[in-house]
Amino acid sequence: MASDAIRLDGKVAVITGGAGGIGAATARLMAARGARVAIADIAIDAARALADSLPGAIAVPLDLESEESIHTMVAAVADHYGRLDILHNNAALLGPDIAQQDGDIEHMGTALWDRTYAVNVRGTMIACRAALPHLRESKGNIVNTVSNLALQGHLIQAAYSSSKAAIIQMTRSIAASHGAQGIRCNAVAPGMTLTPALREAFPPVLRQAVEAETLRDRLGEPEDIAEAVAFLASDAARNITGQLLVADGGCASHVPGIAQFRAFFGEHV
């Protein structure tokens, strides 16, 4: 295999939730590596603005709560480009208003729980189901964005974290059931990522608490996660499927309270 297997020349990639944050960074990176990118988002004006800045890119409206919208999106991308090679399921129900409601199970609203699963799990499943016939033809692949919260217990975000855990299992199921057809399926689990939305809305004191538990010297940027997604989507990852790549700066890899241990033992630790 050529050393430029990381390139995506000739590939068609659709990125859900592609108008901002990790999705936008991934769209830019994949386009820079030669892919033709379809930016699918409910924020269609922002999607169009980004698509206009990328060669060969298009914007497609997408509402993950609507099965019809998902099928229309996949069909529009396949019709426009004549193929589909990469499905990046990045969109999720995650905004300041949602996060404030998503707490512990005792106080969980049933409507919020159902909507979270409708968007994150059901929407991702339908997108995969609609894309699989096209990916079979192209020997393409799926990359799902999940979260390191799917691997850890937390005081908050019970609905979000459990929905992302479901997508991890969906990833393995698709890899197992469709691998013999030449289709790969993997997932990337970011930790707290410094998207514009997080910088604006997340309480600084909580952000600092997560940053203290990061094994790097900073939190991740959207571009850091985009690199992981683009790698898994490329031929450089041709022998990787059914896997979860945790890209959280090491937060999920260590014993609890590492920040306190650092403070106790000093800066040399």
Count CB-CB contacts under 10 A for residue 231: 18
The rounded distance, in Å, linking the Cα atoms of 186 and 26 is 15
User: Residue 160: which of 168, 171, 150 has the closest Cα?
Assistant: 150
> Residue type at 87?
L
Tell me which of 38, 81, 132, 160 is the catalytic residue. Answer: 160
The amino acid at residue 182 is G
Q: Is 81 a catalytic residue?
A: no
Please choose, from the candidates 10, 66, 76, 6, the residue with its C-alpha nearest in 3D space to the C-alpha of residue 39.
Answer: 76
What crossing angle do the helices spanning 258-265 and 204-212 adopt, rounded to 10°?
70
Query: Which positions are annotated as active-site residues?
Result: 160
